[in-house]
Amino acid sequence: MMDLWYKNAVIYCLDVKSFMDASGDGWGDFQGLTDRLDHLEALGVTCVWLNPFYPSPNRDNGYDISDFYGVMERLGSPGDFVAFSREARDRGLKVIIDLVVNHTSSEHPWFKASREDPDGPYGDFYVWSKEKPKDITKGIVFPGVQDAVWTHDETRDAWYMHRFYKYQPDLNISNPAVREEIMKIMGYWLELGVWGFRIDAAPFLIEYEGLDEEPDRDPLLLLTEMRDFLSWRRAGGIFMAEANITRDKAPGYFGGHENGTEERLHMLLDFPANQAMWLAFARADARPIAEALRSRPQKVPGQAQWANFLRNHDELSLDKLSDDERQEVFDAFGPEKDMQLYGRGLRRRLAPMLGGDTERLKMAHSLMLALPGTPVMWYGDEIGMGEDLSLEEREAVRTPMQWADERHAGFSFDGTDLVRPVVEDGPMGYHETNVASQRGRAGSLLTQVQHLIRTRRACPEIGWGETEIIVGLPDCVLGLVCSWRGGRVLTLHNLSDQPQEVQAPLDGASHLVPLMGDAGEALEADNRIAMTPYGYCWFRVDGERR
């Protein structure tokens, strides 16, 4: 029987460089992360997702990789990674890592060999064109920052394609040797204890864009081959993909017999639902979320799962909204130009966008955890960390973790040249917002998020079951009933700043047992429920789960 542990997981994403510095050089490292596993264990998360930590020139926060088989020197050694991996396992935490194989750094030995010897073994590892492509700006990912998706290389006297920055040349997945290397990379890290991978830029990984001739092979087959390899090497290993795609394309990514293919990805990060959630927050209207949930494809395998999130390590992309809808979100949460990025998103953290309102932040976390699927958190959001808009592009949301009201926020006791400045000023700076000041304090955001996570883990119906959206509620209230193996969980969320009184009719229900939120005692199923501004309620229907 397959281990579908991810169905009821709570995933915590962090950047090792920004989490905890043990060496004293101002950069976070694996020893520091290992020392802070107490925090993750106490928080209640079950899986840690690591942003890239590989050797890299670090021009794009480590996503420009120069060696897939190592650890960036300032972060430690492969031995330090293994020590961290083992300590995480001993605490019941699984580890997944970023698999960034759409491109490499231009400093990678493969690219250097490819440009110097077109006829050599690495000559066809990348997407090259002898002639200048007709439109070198078509498909720009970072408008306003990126000039082109093709760059001329003088050494080879040819043009190479790069979906991202020019120092990130795209690998050529039509080359069997490239596909074999991807499997080797996966195999290496699986042997060192990881439980799976978050696939970076999945839509760009599985395309033949820029090739002179497209092979007679479905590019999605790469995901099938990767899934087969992963299953052979580690039972229970998973893929979670970054794929900001329209709903109609999702079945092809999941695969499965329902779609006439072999199984592919286990999880997709649900970008459409995330964007709908922010539109709902802007309007104080739950209907966009309900519509996004209804739009999820029904034709997906039973092992497939959606991953829900509030914020991530990049900009808050709003590209799937209409122009008017996007402007609504901009006006509500990022009205100033320096808060916006690439014309489509916001480069802000969760807490500043919600005005530092603790009650609203608690509701937002509760909502994310209540959505059908697997929740994914971004480090620091559990305490309401601030942002630094003086940093370039996406760096604004990647500042060091705020551990205490101490030098460098307790992130680095001895360092002088920090990987990034800590957020110091204002109510979301480290003097007022930090782990130490919220730990164990009743009413703090951290304490409530801990309670929420533990409640979510005790409600497998949300991760495993079928979900019904309750109709007839006020527009500002989202009501969900998740059912699995005879158990039912009801969640209600008020997105407005006004109190609401609701009744959630449930077929065949006799009573509701409160798990958390506004209701403090058991209710008859037909009772009306009073909800505070930005309030939320979790109930188990008809008593304890059996």
> Quick one: angle between helices 287-294 and 271-283, nearest 10?
160
Q: Decide if 200 is catalytic.
A: yes
Residues 349, 385: Cα–Cα separation, whole Å = 8
Please state the rounded mean pLDDT for residues 87-110.
98
DSSP line for 172-186: -TTSHHHHHHHHHHH
Buried b (16+ CB within 10 A) or exposed e, 61-94: bbbbbbbbebbbebbbeeebbeebbeebeeeebb
Look at residue 339 and give its three-state secondary structure: helix
Neighbours of 523 (CB within 10 A): 17
Please state the rounded mean pLDDT for residues 130-155.
95
Q: How far is CA 247 from CA 17, 243, 270, 368, in A?
A: 34, 11, 10, 20
Measure the N-to-C terminal CA separation of the chain; round to a whole number of Å: 22
pLDDT of residue 522: 66
CB 253, CB 218: distance < 8 Å: no
Give me the residue spans of the domains in the chain.
5-102+174-454, 103-170, 465-541
pLDDT of residue 506: 82
Average pLDDT of the chain is: 95
Please state the rounded mean pLDDT for residues 170-197.
98
CB 449, CB 435: distance < 8 Å: no
The beta strand positions in 270-330, using DSSP E, are: 305-309, 316-317
Residues 63, 98: Cα–Cα separation, whole Å = 9
DSSP β-bridge partners for residue 419: none
What is the CATH number assigned to the segment(s) 103-170? 3.90.400.10
pLDDT of residue 260: 79
pLDDT of 195 above 80? yes
Q: Which of 84-93, 341-350, 534-543 has the lowest mean pLDDT?
A: 534-543
Look at residue 528 and give its three-state secondary structure: coil
What is the CATH number assigned to the segment(s) 465-541? 2.60.40.1180
pLDDT of residue 511: 82
pLDDT of 138 above 90? yes
Classify residue 218 as left (phi > 0), alpha (psi -120 to 50) or beta.
beta
pLDDT of residue 2: 67
Please state the rounded mean pLDDT for residues 327-337.
98
Q: Give residue-wise pLDDT tens across range 483-494.
A: 999 999 999 999
Instruction: State the number of CA atoms in the 13 A half-sphere of 20 facing the CB.
Output: 19
Homologous superfamily in CATH for domain 5-102+174-454 = Glycosidases (3.20.20.80)
Q: Give residue-wise pLDDT tens across range 404-437.
A: 999 999 999 887 899 999 999 999 999 999 999 9
* Residue type at 70 in one-letter notation: G
The beta strand positions in 371-486, using DSSP E, are: 374-378, 466-469, 477-484
Please state the rounded mean pLDDT for residues 221-246.
96
Helices and strands, number each (H, E), in the chain: 17, 22
Residue 518: pLDDT band (50, 70, 90) is: confident
Q: Decide if 242 is catalytic.
A: yes
Neighbours of 289 (CB within 10 A): 24
Question: Of the candidates 317, 296, 144, which has an alpha carbon nearest to the alpha carbon of residue 244?
Answer: 317
Which secondary-structure segment (H or E) carries 161? strand 158-161
Question: Of the candidates 265, 143, 118, 128, which has an alpha carbon nearest to the alpha carbon of residue 209?
Answer: 128
Q: Give residue-wise pLDDT tens across range 429-480.
A: 999 999 999 998 999 999 999 999 999 999 999 999 999 999 999 999 999 9
Catalytic one of 21, 200, 325, 382 = 200
Please state the rounded mean pLDDT for residues 354-368.
98
List the structure tokens of 152: 């001329």
pLDDT of 77 above 50? yes
Q: Give residue-wise pLDDT tens across range 158-175.
A: 999 999 999 999 999 999
pLDDT of residue 505: 78
CB 208, CB 179: distance < 8 Å: no
Question: Of the candidates 277, 311, 305, which has an alpha carbon nearest to the alpha carbon of residue 372?
Answer: 305
CB 122, CB 94: distance < 8 Å: no
Instruction: State the number of CA atoms in the 13 A half-sphere of 19 facing the CB.
Output: 24
Catalytic one of 29, 242, 270, 314 = 242
pLDDT of residue 525: 66
CB 366, CB 536: distance < 8 Å: yes
pLDDT of residue 1: 44
Residues 365, 445: Cα–Cα separation, whole Å = 10
pLDDT of 374 above 90? yes
Residues 370, 468: Cα–Cα separation, whole Å = 12
**Where does residue 528 rank: exposed (0-12), middle (13-18), buried (19+ CB within 10 A)?**
exposed
pLDDT of residue 300: 86
Torsion of CA 401, 55, 165, 20, to 10 degrees: 0
List the structure tokens of 292: 């996004």
pLDDT of 351 above 80? yes
Residues 255, 399: Cα–Cα separation, whole Å = 37
List the structure tokens of 85: 């991996």
Q: Which residue has the tokens 């609504």?
A: 328
